[in-house]
Amino acid sequence: MRLLLILLLLACLSACSLTPILERPAAPVPASYPMVANAAASTLPANAVGWRAMFGDPRLQRLIELALSNNRDFRLATLNVQVAQAQAHIQHAARLPAVGLDGTRTRERTQSTDGSGQARREVNKQTGVSVALSAFELDLFGRMRALSDAAFARYLASEQGRDAAQVALVGAVAEAYFAQRLADEQLQLTERTLADWRQSLELARLLKQAEQSSSLDVAQAEGQVALAEADLEARRRALAQADNALQLLVGSELPGDLPVALPLERQSVIAQLPAGLPAELLLNRPDLRQAEQMLVAANADIGAARAAFFPQISLTASFGYASTSLDGLFDPAGQVWRFAPQISQPLFQGGRLRAELRLAEVRKSEAVAQYERAIQAAFREVADALAGIGTFERQIEAQMRAVLAAERRLRLSDLRYRAGVEGRLELLDAQRQLHASRQALLDSRREEIANQIALYKALGGGLH
């Protein structure tokens, strides 16, 4: 008991720490975002808006659920958290005494010679039981504590990395889904356009038979139909590739009972989120919190490297009983104990300890640079997404007017062509303009949704 009290007293003395005070660098970005005035605020910040609220399409919500369950990259990020947690527990356990119960039972045959020269054989028995304290380092200079703090910080960083991977996965699934929706609607538009152009070709042939048009008109119509057929195959290929990309992110074959997809123009996606101030990103984005925890770990490594220059004191002790018979094993006369403190002071390491300290300091500088770079990247992502707020809305409105104008022009060109007022070339140009305008409108709607997803991710979108 007295020995244990001494050990506990010595353990309490291990309060010194050589870890430097961590001073987080100031955010190397402007104090406000450009064009922030164009971003109308919603009632909740992005990190408080879950992906279910952000994306209202039931089909997309089901796909995100499947991805969170089956995506292999996200599964690896989750396993990395468990690995870091176990490593942190191992490092923390190294700061505590390791106590074990040892039991021995030995039988030994010996041979000796008595005074008359006769050989005498004896069998000796020994039984022992003891409580042993393995080599326990008294952390007088904080080396073990610094290693434990570094491991714990890396565990926290892995948790933030998992959250960052989840935000990235949700955004990637949403982007792939809307890319698939765009490819599907572009395919449908091409199919409708091809059907219209084939009808126009039949009309050109009928007019040729009636000698109301020339072979040139028929050739122009045939060329236009051939281009539309080629575009149709390209759209089919794009849709198949979009399906493959989405299936890869989901991590499994897409089930057949998914809800019906909504068209792009009816997608329910929160369009406006409050950007706040750049400093708030440090609290909202898990990747920035991950970089911060890695900085904390690198700073703790410096403390461990500094403490390695000082003496390391370790204790080994045991207390128990030993007896030649089991009946007298716990006889007070058979008490045995052993106490073996050890001190180790580095004298010559060939510069290894200084090199390890220098390495720890350089890695901290790297962690600072990575932390600052992550902040700058986050600032740019938010600024880029904010630049799209408002401009996409006006762009789509203008593109819709262009589609209406192209439709009106096509109707007039068709009437004038049937009346023989103008040639086939003007009608072909009107048809192509309408098709291109409709394609551009689909592209604009897809880009607007992609910008909303980018802003959601850049602001540290919610996890649920």
Residue 3: partners with Cβ closer than 8 Å, 6 or more residues away: 317, 319, 337, 339
Which residue stretches of 210-327 are H helix? 215-250, 281-284, 286-307
Question: What counts of helices (H) and strands (E) characterise the chain?
Answer: 11, 4
Handedness of CA 275, 279, 280, 285 (dihedral sign): positive
| Complete DSSP assignment for 17-51 | --PPPP-PPPP-S-SS-TTGGGS---SS-GGGS-H
Of the candidates 147, 172, 156, 146, the residue with the CA atom closest to the CA atom of residue 80: 156
On whether the pTM is more than 0.75, the answer is yes
Residue count of the chain: 464
Cα–Cα distances in angstroms (integers) from residue 41 to residues 37, 38, 342, 460, in the given order: 10, 9, 65, 15
Of the candidates 356, 369, 365, 366, the residue with the CA atom closest to the CA atom of residue 304: 356
| Complete DSSP assignment for 152-183 | HHHHHHHHHHHHHHHHHHHHHHHHHHHHHHHH
Tens of each residue's pLDDT in the chain, 464 residues? 454 455 555 555 555 778 888 888 888 888 777 754 444 444 567 777 888 888 989 999 999 999 999 999 999 999 999 999 999 988 888 888 888 877 777 777 677 666 666 666 776 677 777 787 777 778 788 888 898 999 999 999 999 999 999 999 999 999 999 999 999 999 999 999 999 889 888 888 888 887 777 788 888 888 989 999 999 999 999 999 999 999 999 998 888 888 998 888 888 787 677 777 777 777 788 999 999 999 999 999 999 898 888 888 887 888 777 776 666 666 676 677 777 788 888 888 888 889 989 999 999 999 999 999 999 998 888 888 888 887 888 999 999 999 999 999 999 988 888 887 777 788 888 989 999 999 999 999 999 999 989 988 888 887 77
